[in-house]
Amino acid sequence: MRITRTHRLAAAVGGGMALALSLPLNAVATPPPHAENAPRATKKVTFTDDQIKNSRKGDDHPQAREVRQLHLREQARAGRLIDAKNVSVAILDSNVSVAWERGRNVEKVTFTALTADDAPDADMAGFDIGMLTGEDPESSGVSANAYGAGMNQATWDNGQYSYKSGDCQTAYARRSGTLVGKVNGCYQKVKPTNDYNGSYDEFSYNRYATATAEQLSWTEDYVPVAMDIGSRPHRDHLSRTIGLTNYFPHTPEHLCNEGAEVSVTAGAFSATVPLRNCADKWPTPDAANSYMGARYDQGAIFGGRSAGLDFVMNPKGRQGGAYPILADWDSARFCVGTYSGCADWAIVNPGW
């Protein structure tokens, strides 16, 4: 059995909003080849913004209470204590539910059930689940932690910043009423009070997501075999973003260089950002379109109930103008560990 290694890669931030790396902004890594035997999709559902809003359940709904508590407990384990009244829940159908925090808008959720000839359970041998979310432009400077699973030991000149935000959301998948997997995605955005730039405003945008499977039994254990996360300017607020100063990681080697430290600069802002080092990960940047993303593919099913992806991007906006608003995509594929065709990372595109 191959063991996936997870390491921490520190990103310390200090003076001028460009990574201390002499790498081109348009460096794009080559993702892995697709698996030859892709699984069959037996159910493919896309929930849109209106459906999500209309599916919200109150506190008196048993499943809504359960989903809310699951989200609160997961964030508490990551060091984020959240008021329950700031968590919204939608029960989309018997297989899919989502929870999100007040600074987020959940705009689309996708779910695809997968089967294969050699799968032990023809009903759902695997599944894809994904979320398309955006920051709520009305909730500027919400009570978001600058610390937690994503950004640690953050400091500013005199402890000052002019803007910070950051919230999380989780999509849950069930089979026959039993929770089988979840994808949690978060963002943190900070603008220091003084970014020492006279041409445009600079921000640090940290993204991290974790896919976690539930153990059902010794013979039927789901594992996350692929992930795909990304961020880009929100389609409703494109003019707010005028480009990227930089991003990290640039290449797969930066995800797998054990013990490496990368200096990301953002004026007076400094922080330690744990970008997890692990094989089988590929950054997918597109600086020309202010897009950054990352993919993970085990290449074969060999165990491991949790997988994570992280990246940092530095979007810039017009000086003194409206803050950049980004859209985020978090998705994962889960499979029972007996069929390797499910490792194909061609997860459903969010359609953004």
This prediction has a pTM of 0.81
Q: Provide the pLDDT for residue 346.
A: 58
Using alpha carbons only, how large is the chain's radius of gyration in Å? 20
Place of tokens 């400077």: 141
Q: Provide the pLDDT for residue 243.
A: 92
User: Tens of pLDDT along 195-230?
Assistant: 777 788 888 888 888 999 987 766 567 888 888 999
Whether the Cβ atoms of residue 128 and residue 106 lie closer than 8 Å to each other: no
Looking at per-residue confidence, does 251 or 177 come out higher?
177
Q: Provide the pLDDT for residue 7.
A: 28
* pLDDT higher than threshold 60 for residue 137: yes
* pLDDT higher than threshold 50 for residue 91: yes
For residue 252, the Cα-to-chain-centroid distance in whole angstroms is 18
Q: Provide the pLDDT for residue 326.
A: 94
| Helices marked H in the chain | 49-54, 62-77, 252-256
Residue 278: pLDDT band with limits 50, 70, 90: low
Q: Provide the pLDDT for residue 281.
A: 81
Average pLDDT for 257-268 = 55
Average per-residue pLDDT in the chain?
74
Measure the CA–CA gap between 296 and 2, rounded to whole angstroms: 16
Task: Tell me the helix, strand and coil percentages in the chain, rounded to 5.
Answer: 15, 45, 40
Strand pairing category for 152-155 and 270-272: antiparallel
User: Tens of pLDDT along 327-352?
Assistant: 999 999 888 765 565 655 556 666 67
Q: Provide the pLDDT for residue 182.
A: 95
Whether the Cβ atoms of residue 96 and residue 171 lie closer than 8 Å to each other: yes
Burial of 337 by CB count in 10 Å (0-12 exposed, 13-18 middle, 19+ buried)? buried
